[in-house]
A and B are shown apart, each in its own frame.
Chain A
Amino acid sequence: MNLSGVAVVGVGVTPQRKRSQRNSLQVALDAAKLALADAGLSHTDVDGIAARWPGPGGTELAPGSADWSTLLGVPLDWIGDSYPQGVPALLDAAGAILTGQATTILITGGQAGVLGGGQVASYTRPGNEFVEPFGAFTAAHFALVAQRHLARFPHARRGAAEIAATIRNTGSANPEAVMHGRGPFTADDVLAAPPVVDPFTLLDLCLASEGGAAIVVTTLERARDLPHHPVVVLGAGMEWMRQQYVDPPRYEQVWPIGRRAAAKAFGLAGLGPCDVDVAQLYDVNSLEVARQFEALGFCEVGEGTDFALATGIGPDGKLPTCTDGGLLSFSHIGWGAPTLKIAEAVRQLRGQAGERQIPGAEVAIAAGAGSGAQYYNLALLGRAR
């Protein structure tokens, strides 16, 4: 059995909010229940779990960490301490399934009750002694990369604003998005919004919100007996470079991050960028979307914003991107956010995305992380044949 023998059979996304009344463990459990119900499975069917946050299977003793085997009331055959969730957890689960360690794996996580008001979200501010004293935070690391790129390609600033406006307008139309009903926005609105860290304004940058997200992964063979059309993993790849948000990123190294991962993923799938129908890219900021078009092979370096504008990345475009409104408008839930990308890809590929359904979606990208984070990962997902 190869990678495409692994299927995502359940997705669960809890209500996403600016601030939740629940805690991180509760939303992770909420999402797990939704994903299992969607898969037509019971928690007693689960024999493996990748749920690093709020805590893996009893390996953390800190208050609030979860012993998932106790919580689910079932013994487990496999635990993945996947960091973060999304594609790395999906690949961990696929490895466990393909080596016979487990048959039905739950990936769940999210954040709730952790965001305060006012300042930059605490999880984006590493307490490191070579970061905190200088006032750096995650968006600032991405900004330091972006400044180098814009020094080379100044026209990309306005193109990035167009990208932010498009994705935010997609989210504005999605009743499930945290920013539902906000907008419409133009590129000028994005450029004129309050500056956060140059070159980015408030509207260039993703949300920090609360909620849970989960998926259930099993074999394609088992998936054929479950309620929904199976979505399989056609290919995937990851790249890791230095310690995120501590050692400052070098533009020349991190701007192309994802190129090798994409080559691997497309190679495994036997597909190319032109075969992708919907792109759930990791839109932590506007320019990062353009960067991914360049790194993943959709266009050349420096052409990412032009590619987005010419191709069309809105729901009516040739490459609908972040079809739920993305991290910019739908939600960003910390280390659980990458799982949102897989959930939206699966919904689109099943043809169950409701009013935001992209007709005929057969191949989707789900991505995680980016240049300022100094790691990146992506999966190509497709409708099983």
Chain B
Amino acid sequence: MAERPEDLNLPNAVITRIIKEALPDGVNVSKEARKAISQAASIFVLYATSCANNFAMKAKRKTLNAGDVMSAMEEMEFERFLQPLRQALEAYKKGQKGKKEASEQKRKEKKNITDENDKSRDEEEDEHMDDEQEGENEGEEEDVEN
């Protein structure tokens, strides 16, 4: 699988949005500047990864973990990121845990329902019910994210 240069770029639309949100209202950004920031962001990822990897290797680990990334930020002199990153990570973990528990709960509930229905319905109807349940899942997940 060959890696083409464009594959290592981040999507322009998202980069543009982040830039606009950071700058005061009404400020324009030249196309050249946008492209440059996008490239800088890719370099940042590489630099951060390389730095974090050094910490992992020092600890004789093969897997990069959250602590390595935090250490890398400090090393790169981006201490200003540490606090917001910690908060974001906490919220992210809570969200993951919540989703996991919620989907496990749903699975349990469905199992109870389908167990009861299995006795009375044939296979075709079960497949139809699975589709309906998937639809329900998507709806519920959207609520959680909002």
Whether both chains belong to one complex is answered with no
B: residues with CB less than 8 A from A are none
A: residues with CB less than 8 A from B are none
